[in-house]
RNA sequence: GUGGACGUAGCUCAGCUGGUAGAGUCCCGGAUUGUGAUUCCGGUCGUCGUGGGUUCGAGUCCCAUCGUUCACCCCA
C-alpha cells in the first residue's frame, strides 16, 4: 500500500513541543500586557462571509484570500460565499458594527488569532500566522491621546519579551500628504504611489528611489525629489530633537500643520506614559498600508537586528466600519505578527528552545512501588509542581534519557536505597548533578530548585 | 500574478568526462544487572520528484510535468 506523504502545505509554522512552549510563552507575555493595559478579549471566527471580508478592499487583497466552500456546494458548482480572514482588523470592523449597541465605547479589544493569506511561499512569510492585535474604537470621535497609549503598550510588551533594544518609530500620514501637496503632488493616488516608493528607501537605497521618482511614471522634478528624500530621511534622537525637526519643516498646507500638531502631541504624551526617549522616535519614512491609515502610523524595529524589519505596526484610521454601518467609528490599533516574529527571532538565535512545561519526572525503579510513586507525584502536583510519572518502567538510563530529550530538568528517584534511608534522590539533568533530600523536604527543595532554574533562565 | 534557481535516505549533502547508489547526522539496540546528553560497536531507512526520449546501459544527457525555493508585487 502506498503511503501518503506526511507533510504540511508550505507557509505554515508547525513546531515541536519545546519550541511550541517557547512560542506560547511569548503569546502569554503579550496577552498579559494587553490585559494589564485594560484591553478586552475578543475572538472571531476564522471563516467569514466572503462579501464581509471583501467589501472595502479588493484588488491585491482579494488575490490573497482563501475562499471556503462546503463539499456539497462545490459539487453543485456554486461560487464560494465564505472565506478565511486575512487579518483581524476587518473582522473587528464587522464585529463592532454588528454589536455596536452592546459595546461600550471607547471599545478596547485585544485579539490573538491566526489569519490566512494565499501568499507565494517565501522566507519568513506565512500563509497561516498569528496576529496579536489591540485596537481602540471610538464612537463618533476618538481622542488623539489613544494614539499615544498604544506605544506605551508596545513598550511594555517588548520590554518583557526581552528580545533586545527596540525603537517604536512614528510618523503621521497627514504630515506626509501635506508635505507632498506643498511640492505639487496633490493627487491622493499619486501621493500613495510616492509613499509606496519611498517606503523602499531602506531596501533599495536613495539612488534607486530618486531614479524612479524622476523617471517616467512619476515625472517629478529633481528639486522636488530631493526635498522628498530629505523629508523621509528625518529621524529624531530625542523628544526635543523630534520637536525641532518637525518645526524645521517650515509652514505648509492645512494637512501638514494638522499632522505636525498631532505628532507633537502624541510624541509628548508617549513620554508622559512612561516610555523612555530611547525607545521611540520620529521617522518620516514610515508609510505603512495606506489604504485605511489616516493619521499616526507606527513601526517597531529591533535596534540590533534591523534586517528583521518591523516587528509590530499599526496606525490610526478615521472610519473603520464604514462598509457596515452609518455610524462613524474612528480607531487606532497595532498588530504584532507573532509567527513571523518568532520565526525570525529563532533564525537570529534570539529565542532558544524552551524547557518542558513538565517540571519533574518521577522515575520508576521498582514496579511494586508504583503506588508510592503515584502518591509522591500527587504530592508534588498539589504543590503546583508539574509532574509526570514513568508508568512503563524500563532501565533507569532510558528514563533519564527520556527526561532529557523531553526537556524535563529534574528527575526524582525513589528506589530501594532511598526507601531504606527515608530520602529521595533528585537529579538535575541540566547541570548533571544529583543530591538526596529527606522525603518530607522534597516539595520545599524542588520549589527552591525550580525557582532558581526559572531565574537563571 | 511575473521572473530565476533547484529537486539523491527523516535531515545536511557526495556521486569526476553516462556503467544498475554512498557519507555524516538522526532514530533503534548493545558495551555485567540503579544514571541521560560525550565515547565505542551494531542495525533500520532510498522504485536517485514523476512521465517520456536518446543509449547496449542514465542519478548522471534531452523534453515535459509536478514540487520546492529565491526575487518582484504586497505585506505581519
Q: Provide the domain count of chain A.
A: 2
Q: Are residues A392 and A341 in the same domain?
A: no
CATH of the domain at A114: 3.30.930.10
* pLDDT tens digit sequence for A243-254: 999 999 999 999
- For the record, the C-alpha cell of A113 comes out as 488569532
In angstroms, how far is B33 C1' from A16 CA?
36
- Strand extents, DSSP E, A214-346: 280-282, 296-302, 312-317, 331-337
Evaluate whether residue A296 is within a structural domain.
no
Distance of alpha carbon A62 from the chain centroid:
23
Q: Which residue is nearest to nucleotide B1 (CA to C1')?
A: A63
- For the record, the C-alpha cell of A70 comes out as 462546503
Q: Which residue is nearest to nucleotide B73 (CA to C1')?
A: A60
Q: What whole-number distance in Å separates Cα of residue A27 and Cα of residue A13? A: 15
Nucleotides of B under 7 A from a protein CB: 1-3, 27, 29, 34-37, 67-76
Q: Are residues A21 and A160 in the same domain?
A: yes
pLDDT for the residue numbered A457 = 61
Q: What whole-number distance in Å separates Cα of residue A91 and Cα of residue A95? A: 6
In angstroms, how far is B63 C1' from A2 CA?
28
Evaluate whether residue A63 is within a structural domain.
yes
* Nearest nucleotide, CA A394 to C1': B34
In angstroms, how far is B70 C1' from A10 CA?
14
User: A197: pLDDT confidence band, cut at 50, 70 and 90?
Assistant: confident
Residues found in chain A: 457
pLDDT for the residue numbered A98 = 95
Evaluate whether residue A240 is within a structural domain.
no
* Nearest nucleotide, CA A128 to C1': B76
* Nearest nucleotide, CA A309 to C1': B76
Burial class (CB in 10 A: 0-12, 13-18, 19+), A134: buried
In angstroms, how far is B6 C1' from A347 CA?
22
Residues 6+ apart with CB under 8 A from A22: A342, A351, A352, A353, A354
In angstroms, how far is B27 C1' from A394 CA?
19
As a whole number, the mean pLDDT across chain A is: 89
* pLDDT tens digit sequence for A225-241: 888 888 988 999 999 99
Q: Which whole number is the average pLDDT over A394-417?
A: 93
Q: Which residue is nearest to nucleotide B72 (CA to C1')?
A: A120
Q: Are residues A444 and A319 in the same domain?
A: no
* Nearest nucleotide, CA A127 to C1': B76
> Is the four-CA dihedral A225, A230, A234, A240 of positive or negative sign?
negative
In angstroms, how far is B54 C1' from A40 CA?
69
Choose the weakest-confidence range: A161-175, A288-302, A319-333, A375-389. Answer: A288-302
Residue A133 CB neighbours (<10 A): 24
- Kindly tell me if the per-residue pLDDT of A58 is higher than 50: no
* Nearest nucleotide, CA A6 to C1': B10
Q: Which residue is nearest to nucleotide B70 (CA to C1')?
A: A122
In angstroms, how far is B59 C1' from A3 CA?
23
Placement of cell 496606525 in the chain: A315
- Kindly tell me if the per-residue pLDDT of A24 is higher than 60: yes
List the one residue out of A179, A164, A293, A168 whose CA is nearest residue A230: A179
* pLDDT tens digit sequence for A276-311: 999 999 999 887 765 788 899 999 999 988 878 889
Q: Are residues A310 and A422 in the same domain?
A: no
A297: helix, coil or strand? strand
Q: Quote the percentage of chain A above a pLDDT of 90.
A: 61
Evaluate whether residue A282 is within a structural domain.
no
Evaluate whether residue A9 is within a structural domain.
no
Q: Are residues A308 and A437 in the same domain?
A: no
Q: Which whole number is the average pLDDT over A172-200?
A: 84
User: A28: pLDDT confidence band, cut at 50, 70 and 90?
Assistant: very high
* Domain range for A153: 17-164+304-347
* pLDDT tens digit sequence for A210-219: 878 887 777 7
Q: Are residues A159 and A29 in the same domain?
A: yes
In angstroms, how far is B34 C1' from A423 CA?
15
In angstroms, how far is B47 C1' from A9 CA?
25
Residue A139 CB neighbours (<10 A): 16
Q: What whole-number distance in Å separates Cα of residue A378 and Cα of residue A387? A: 8
In angstroms, how far is B24 C1' from A405 CA?
21
In angstroms, how far is B56 C1' from A101 CA?
84
Task: Report whether A34 contacts A134 (CB < 8 A).
Answer: yes
Q: Are residues A115 and A85 in the same domain?
A: yes
In angstroms, how far is B76 C1' from A434 CA?
46
Of A286, A313, A347, which residue constitutes the final position of a domain? A347
Task: Report whether A299 contacts A310 (CB < 8 A).
Answer: yes
Residues 6+ apart with CB under 8 A from A312: A154, A157, A158, A168, A298, A299, A300, A334, A335, A336, A337, A341
- Kindly tell me if the per-residue pLDDT of A1 is higher than 70: no
* Nearest nucleotide, CA A400 to C1': B36
Task: Report whether A130 contacts A339 (CB < 8 A).
Answer: yes
* Nearest nucleotide, CA A59 to C1': B74
Cα-atom radius of gyration of chain A, to the nearest Å?
A: 28
Q: Are residues A377 and A334 in the same domain?
A: no
Placement of cell 465605547 in the chain: A105
CATH of the domain at A442: 3.40.50.800
Of A347, A370, A403, which residue constitutes the final position of a domain? A347
* Nearest nucleotide, CA A2 to C1': B47
Q: Are residues A334 and A431 in the same domain?
A: no
Evaluate whether residue A187 is within a structural domain.
no
* Nearest nucleotide, CA A13 to C1': B76
Q: Are residues A315 and A393 in the same domain?
A: no
Q: Which residue is nearest to nucleotide B71 (CA to C1')?
A: A122
* pLDDT tens digit sequence for A324-334: 999 999 999 99
Q: Which residue is nearest to nucleotide B76 (CA to C1')?
A: A337
In angstroms, how far is B53 C1' from A229 CA?
58
Evaluate whether residue A28 is within a structural domain.
yes
Q: Are residues A332 and A447 in the same domain?
A: no
Q: Are residues A139 and A52 in the same domain?
A: yes
Evaluate whether residue A334 is within a structural domain.
yes
* pLDDT tens digit sequence for A87-129: 999 999 999 999 999 999 999 999 999 999 887 777 778 889 9
Of A322, A347, A372, which residue constitutes the final position of a domain? A347
More confident residue, A207 or A1: A207
Q: Which helix (H) or strand (E) holds A420?
A: helix A416-421
* Nearest nucleotide, CA A404 to C1': B36
Amino acid at each position: 500500500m502506498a503511503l501518503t506523504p506526511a507533510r504540511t502545505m508550505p507557509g505554515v509554522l508547525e513546531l515541536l513541543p519545546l519550541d511550541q512552549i517557547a512560542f506560547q510563552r511569548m503569546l502569554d507575555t503579550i496577552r498579559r500586557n494587553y490585559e494589564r493595559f485594560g484591553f478586552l478579549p475578543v475572538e472571531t471566527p476564522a471563516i467569514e462571509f466572503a462579501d464581509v471580508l471583501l467589501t472595502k478592499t479588493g484588488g491585491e487583497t482579494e488575490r490573497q484570500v482563501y475562499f471556503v466552500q462546503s463539499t456539497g456546494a462545490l459539487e453543485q458548482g456554486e461560487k464560494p460565499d465564505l472565506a478565511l480572514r486575512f487579518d483581524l482588523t476587518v473582522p473587528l470592523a464587522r464585529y463592532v458594527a454588528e454589536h455596536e449597541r452592546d459595546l461600550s465605547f471607547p471599545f478596547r479589544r485585544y485579539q490573538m488569532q491566526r489569519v490566512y493569506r494565499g501568499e507565494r511561499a517565501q522566507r519568513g512569510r506565512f500563509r497561516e500566522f498569528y496576529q496579536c492585535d489591540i485596537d481602540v474604537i471610538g464612537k463618533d470621535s476618538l481622542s488623539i491621546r489613544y494614539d499615544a497609549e498604544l506605544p506605551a503598550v508596545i513598550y511594555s510588551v517588548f520590554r518583557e519579551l526581552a528580545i533586545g533594544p527596540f525603537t517604536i518609530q512614528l510618523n503621521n500620514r497627514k504630515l506626509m500628504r501635506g508635505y507632498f501637496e506643498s511640492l505639487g503632488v496633490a493627487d491622493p493616488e499619486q501621493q500613495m504611489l510616492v509613499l509606496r516608493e519611498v517606503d523602499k528607501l531602506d531596501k533599495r537605497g536613495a539612488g534607486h528611489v530618486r531614479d524612479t521618482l524622476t523617471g517616467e511614471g512619476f515625472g517629478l522634478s529633481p528639486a522636488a525629489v530631493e526635498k522628498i528624500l530629505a523629508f523621509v530621511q528625518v529621524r529624531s534622537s530625542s523628544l526635543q530633537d523630534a520637536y525641532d525637526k518637525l518645526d524645521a519643516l517650515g509652514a505648509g498646507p492645512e494637512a501638514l500643520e494638522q499632522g505636525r500638531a498631532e505628532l507633537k502631541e502624541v510624541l509628548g504624551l508617549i513620554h508622559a506614559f512612561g516610555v523612555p526617549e530611547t525607545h521611540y522616535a520620529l521617522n518620516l519614512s514610515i508609510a505603512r498600508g495606506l489604504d485605511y491609515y489616516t493619521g499616526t502610523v507606527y513601526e517597531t524595529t529591533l535596534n540590533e537586528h534591523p534586517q528583521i524589519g518591523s516587528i509590530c505596526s499599526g496606525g490610526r484610521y478615521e472610519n473603520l466600519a464604514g462598509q457596515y454601518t452609518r455610524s462613524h467609528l474612528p480607531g487606532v490599533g497595532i498588530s504584532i505578527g507573532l509567527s513571523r516574529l518568532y520565526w525570525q527571532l529563532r533564525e537570529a538565535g534570539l529565542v532558544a528552545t524552551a524547557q518542558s512545561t513538565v517540571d519533574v519526572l518521577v522515575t520508576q525503579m521498582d514496579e511494586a512501588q508504583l503506588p508510592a510513586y503515584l502518591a509522591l507525584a500527587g504530592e508534588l502536583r498539589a504543590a503546583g509542581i508539574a509532574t509526570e510519572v514513568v508508568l512503563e518502567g524500563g532501565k533507569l538510563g532510558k528514563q533519564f534519557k527520556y527526561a532529557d530529550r523531553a526537556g524535563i530538568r529534574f528527575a526524582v528517584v525513589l528506589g530501594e536505597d532511598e526507601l531504606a534511608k527515608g530520602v529521595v534522590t533528585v537529579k538535575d539533568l541540566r547541570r548533571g548533578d544529583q543530591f538526596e533530600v529527606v522525603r518530607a523536604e522534597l516539595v520545599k527543595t524542588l520549589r527552591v530548585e525550580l525557582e532558581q532554574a526559572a531565574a537563571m533562565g
